[in-house]
Amino acid sequence: MLKIPEHQVAGHQAQGGKLGPLVDDSGLFYKPLQGGDRGSHEVAFYTSFYSNPKIPPHIRRFFPKFHGAQVLEASDGSGLLSHLVLEDLTLTKSNPSIMDIKIGSRTWPPHESSEYIEKCLKKDRETSSISLGFRLSGLQMYVPKETGFWKPERKSVQSLSASEVGLVLRKFVSSNTSSDCSFAQAVYGGPYGILSQLLELKAWFEDQTVYHFYSCSILMMYEKELASQENSSHGATIKMIDFAHVADAGGVIDHNFLGGLCSLIKFVSDIIATPNDPTNVVERIF
């Protein structure tokens, strides 16, 4: 029985009879293959990634499990369409807080057409990609005692300034819509926290010369209700998603992704270091 995913925060969504991903009860996530060669390119990436012996096993856990491709009725009723079959990342989570962060100041692969590059560059400049090295693509935060989820409009989170992004990352681990950072240590910190996972990914990116991940996102997820209970696992996890624009690395590290990842790491480290200091004073030099 296919249905619309409850917790999607970015990308095309199937609501309102549109084309978007579907999920089933067994924990699978069906993503319609994107137009042009993007869809087949994403299938090729997953196939390559899971068969490449150069990918260390501990890195695979940062990627959705892959179950091939399958033809099924599209969510917009337009007929049969090929779908990527992936792991449903939010299956076991009841009220996940989720942030989708598109990494890299440049979202276009070098060999794209000038028209495509111009379109991407315009968006990279209008959003925070160029300035921060990443942009928020979407987010939802569970607010227990209030309205359930806070899910700001996607357009509004893409162009935040450094101090605004800092504030959103603080709110993300706060007990309410203020920024008390109650869960900063539990979610971002510690040996299994998000910072530790980001640093593990960073160490791989400093070395890997297999793929360049353009326009790819990191999902950060956890369950706020469980974070507030002692001795329970809130499941703070990062996952890489969206591989329609992955390119061959050509013997070079992915300096574009790595730079953006280091920028995100700096924001998260600062919050762990000073959870009670949301001022984020930005000093101007010139």
Residues at the site binding a copy of itself, with contacts judged by CB under 8 A: 41, 44, 48, 52, 105-106, 110, 121, 125, 130-133, 161-163, 166, 206-207, 209-211, 247-253, 255-256, 258-260, 262-263, 265-266, 280, 282-286
Residue placing its CB nearer to a copy of itself in the complex, 18 or 54: 54
Cβ nearer to a copy of itself, comparing 6 with 277: 277
Distance of closest approach, residue 122 Cβ to a copy of itself, in angstroms: 10
**Cβ 236 to a copy of itself shortest distance, Å:** 22
Rounded least distance, CB 44 to a copy of itself, Å: 7
Secondary structure string (H, E, C) spanning the chain: CCECCCCCCCCCCCHHHCCCCEECCCCEEEEECCCCCHHHHHHHHHHHHHHCCCCCHHHHCCCCCEEEEEEEECCCCCCEEEEEEEECCCCCCCCEEEEEEEECCCCCCCCCCHHHHHHHHHHHHHCCHHHHCEEEEEEEEEECCCCEEECCCHHHHCCCCHHHHHHHHHHCCCCCCCCCCCCHHHHHCCCCCHHHHHHHHHHHHCCCCCEEECCCEEEEEEEHHHHCCCCCCCCCEEEEECCCCEEECCCCCCHHHHHHHHHHHHHHHHHHHCCCCCCCCCCCCC
Task: Specify the residue, 4 or 130, whose C-beta has the smaller distance to a copy of itself.
Answer: 130
User: Based on CB atoms, which residue is closest to a copy of itself, 174 or 256?
Assistant: 256
Which residue, 58 or 284, is less far from a copy of itself as judged by CB? 284
State in angstroms the smallest separation of the CB of 110 from a copy of itself.
Answer: 5
Nearest distance, CB of residue 203 and a copy of itself, angstroms: 11
Phi-psi region of 133 (alpha: psi -120 to 50; beta: other; left: phi over 0): left
- Cβ 207 to a copy of itself, closest distance in Å? 7
Enumerate residues 6+ apart whose C-beta is below 8 A from 284: none
Identify which of residues 146 and 248 has a Cβ nearer to a copy of itself in the complex. Answer: 248
Give least dist CB 217 to a copy of itself, A: 16
Output 191 or 286, the one with its CB closest to a copy of itself. Answer: 286
